[in-house]
C-alpha cells in the first residue's frame, strides 16, 4: 500500500506531531508499505530511504510562532503527490493543506484526517477577546468533516468537537490512540540521588495554547512552601523570553532546559523525576506524558485535557488549575514506594504502542480502499 502524509507545523523542534508522523512512517515501512511524508522546511529537497521518502517543501516562516513554517503552494504539494500516486492520503493540518483532500477525492484517493488539536481551545487561547470563537470552531470542524473521507481521533476528548456537529456520521470517525516506543522510553534505575537533584519535570511547547504560565504558578507555590525539589522544563516557544525574565525576577526554583532532541536524555530526565507536569488544558492525547509513564514517572494533568482518559489513580492525577492541589499530588507520589509507582506507570503505558496504532490504521485503510 502506498500512503502519503501531509502536514504543516512540522520542524526540528516540533513535539508530538513530528513524533507521530515519524513513528507511523517507520511502522508502515516495517510492514512493507511505501510512505511519502510532505512537510515544510526552509528549503526544498527530497530524501529517500528505502520505502520511506520525506519531501521538504519551502514554507513561509510564521512570525511569533517559535520558528514554525507552513506550506502555501498547494499546487506543488499536489504535483508531489501525483508523482507518488498514493492510495491513502493522511492529513495532519487544518489550514493550508486541508484542501488537498479535494484533489484526493477527485482522484478517488481515500483521505484520513488526524485530529491533533482542539480548534475551539486553540482559538480561545490566542484570541480570548474575540467573540464568536465557538461558532468559528464549529464552522471549521464542519468544513473539515465534509472535506475528508475519515477522521482519526486519539481520544474521546479529541472526537468531542466532531461528534457535536449536527448530522455527524459516527462511521466516519475512528478512535485510535497513539503509542510510545519502549526502545526509547523505559524505566531507568533511580540510584542514589542527593536532595539537590530532586525535581519535577515538564516537557511542553512554551506557547499560549499549552498554558505554560501555570508552571510559573506552581513554581511560586514551590517557593512559598520551600520544597526540597526544583522544576525542570524542557521545551521552547514564543513565550520563553518572558519566562526567563519572570523566573529571574522572582527567583523561582525553575530551570529551563530548552528543546531536548536526544531521546535518551529525555528518557533519563523523565525517569528520574518525582512527577511529570502536563499543564496543557486542551491536549488531545499528550504524547510526552505517555512517554513519561513509560519512563516510570507519574503524570499530573489538567482535568480538562484528554490525559484524564489515559491515566488512572495508580499512575497519575487529573486536577483543576490550582497550584496547591498540584503540589499536594506531587508530594503524595514522592512519598509512595517508587518501585511500585514506576511499575504502575510502565504497565499503563504498555497499553499504548505504535504497532497497535499502525495496525489499526492499516486495517481501517484496507477496509476503505
Residue 45 lies in a domain: yes
Q: Is residue 67 part of a domain?
A: yes
Q: Are residues 229 and 336 in the same domain?
A: yes
Examine the domain organization and report whether 205 and 104 are in the same domain.
no
Same domain, 99 and 229: no
Q: Do 218 and 314 share a domain, yes or no?
A: yes
Record the pTM: 0.94
Do both 276 and 236 map to the same domain? yes
Cell numbers 523505559 correspond to 186
Same domain for 221 and 162:
no
Question: Residue 62 above 90 pLDDT?
Answer: no
> Are 330 and 363 in a shared domain?
no
- For residues 240 and 175, membership in a common domain is answered with no
187 lies in some domain: no
| 21-43: pLDDT as tens digits | 999 999 999 999 999 999 999 99
Residue 11 confidence (pLDDT) above 90: no
The rounded distance, in Å, linking the Cα atoms of 16 and 211 is: 16
| Residues 115 and 237 grouped into a single domain | no
Which domain covers residue 57, as residue numbers? 2-179+353-368
Report the C-alpha gap between 51 and 247 in whole angstroms. 47
Q: Is residue 90 part of a domain?
A: yes
- The verdict on 89 and 207 lying in the same domain is no
Q: Is residue 26 part of a domain?
A: yes
Q: How do residues 130-183 score in pLDDT, each as one tens digit? A: 888 888 989 999 999 999 999 999 999 999 999 999 889 899 999 999 999 999
Whether 153 and 242 share a structural domain: no
CA distances from 368 to 197, 231, 255, 362 (A): 52, 47, 49, 10
Backbone angles phi, psi at 232, to 5 degrees: -105, 130
Selection from 359, 343, 364, 277 nearest residue 87 by Cα:
364
The string of DSSP letters for 59-88 reads -EEPTTTTS-EE---HHHHHHHHHHH--SE
Residue 81 lies in a domain: yes
Q: Which long-range contacts (CB under 8 A, 24 or more apart) does 244-251 make?
A: 246/216, 247/216, 247/219, 250/220, 250/223, 251/223
- Rounded to a whole number of angstroms, the distance between the first and last alpha carbons of the chain is 10
Q: For residue 337, tell me if it sits in a domain.
A: yes
Q: How many domains does the chain have?
A: 2
Asked if 52 and 87 sit in the same domain, the reply is: yes
Amino acid at each position: 500500500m502506498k500512503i502519503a502524509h501531509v502536514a504543516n507545523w512540522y520542524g526540528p523542534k516540533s513535539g508530538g506531531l513530528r513524533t507521530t508522523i515519524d513513528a507511523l512512517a517507520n511502522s508502515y515501512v516495517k510492514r512493507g508499505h511505501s510512505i511519502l511524508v510532505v512537510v515544510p522546511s526552509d528549503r526544498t529537497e527530497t530524501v529517500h530511504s528505502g520505502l520511506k521518502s520525506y519531501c521538504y517543501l519551502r514554507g513561509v516562516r510564521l512570525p511569533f510562532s517559535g520558528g514554525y513554517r507552513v506550506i502555501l503552494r498547494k499546487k506543488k504539494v499536489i504535483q508531489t503527490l501525483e508523482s507518488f500516486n498514493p492510495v491513502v492520503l493522511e492529513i495532519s493540518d487544518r489550514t493550508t493543506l486541508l484542501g488537498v483532500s479535494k484533489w484526493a477525492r477527485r482522484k478517488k484517493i481515500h483521505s484520513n484526517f488526524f485530529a491533533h488539536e482542539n480548534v475551539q481551545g486553540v482559538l480561545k487561547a490566542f484570541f480570548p477577546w474575540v467573540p464568536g470563537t465557538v461558532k468559528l470552531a464549529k464552522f471549521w470542524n464542519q468544513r473539515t468533516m465534509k472535506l475528508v473521507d475519515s477522521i482519526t481521533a486519539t481520544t474521546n476528548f479529541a472526537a468531542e468537537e466532531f461528534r457535536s456537529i449536527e448530522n455527524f456520521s459516527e462511521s466516519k470517525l475512528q478512535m485510535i490512540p497513539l503509542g510510545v516506543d519502549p526502545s526509547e522510553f523505559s524505566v531507568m534505575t533511580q540510584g542514589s540521588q542527593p536532595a539537590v537533584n530532586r525535581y519535577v519535570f515538564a516537557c511542553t511547547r512554551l506557547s499560549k495554547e499549552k498554558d505554560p504560565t501555570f508552571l510559573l504558578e506552581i513554581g511560586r507555590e514551590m517557593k512559598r512552601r520551600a520544597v526540597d525539589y526544583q522544576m525542570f522544563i524542557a521545551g521552547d516557544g514564543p513565550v520563553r523570553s518572558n519566562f526567563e525574565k519572570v523566573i529571574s525576577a522572582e527567583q523561582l526554583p525553575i530551570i529551563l532546559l530548552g528543546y531536548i532532541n536526544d531521546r535518551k536524555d529525555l528518557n533519563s530526565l523523565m525517569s528520574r523525576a518525582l512527577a511529570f507536569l502536563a499543564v496543557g488544558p486542551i491536549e488531545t492525547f499528550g504524547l510526552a506524558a505517555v512517554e513519561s509513564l513509560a519512563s516510570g514517572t507519574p503524570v499530573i494533568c489538567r482535568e480538562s485535557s484528554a490525559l484524564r482518559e489515559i491515566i488512572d489513580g495508580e499512575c497519575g492525577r487529573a486536577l483543576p488549575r490550582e497550584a496547591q492541589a498540584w503540589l499536594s499530588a506531587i508530594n503524595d507520589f514522592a512519598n509512595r514506594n517508587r518501585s511500585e509507582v514506576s511499575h504502575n506507570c510502565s504497565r499503563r503505558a504498555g497499553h499504548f504502542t505504535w504497532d497497535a496504532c499502525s495496525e489499526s490504521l492499516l486495517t481501517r485503510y484496507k477496509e476503505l480502499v
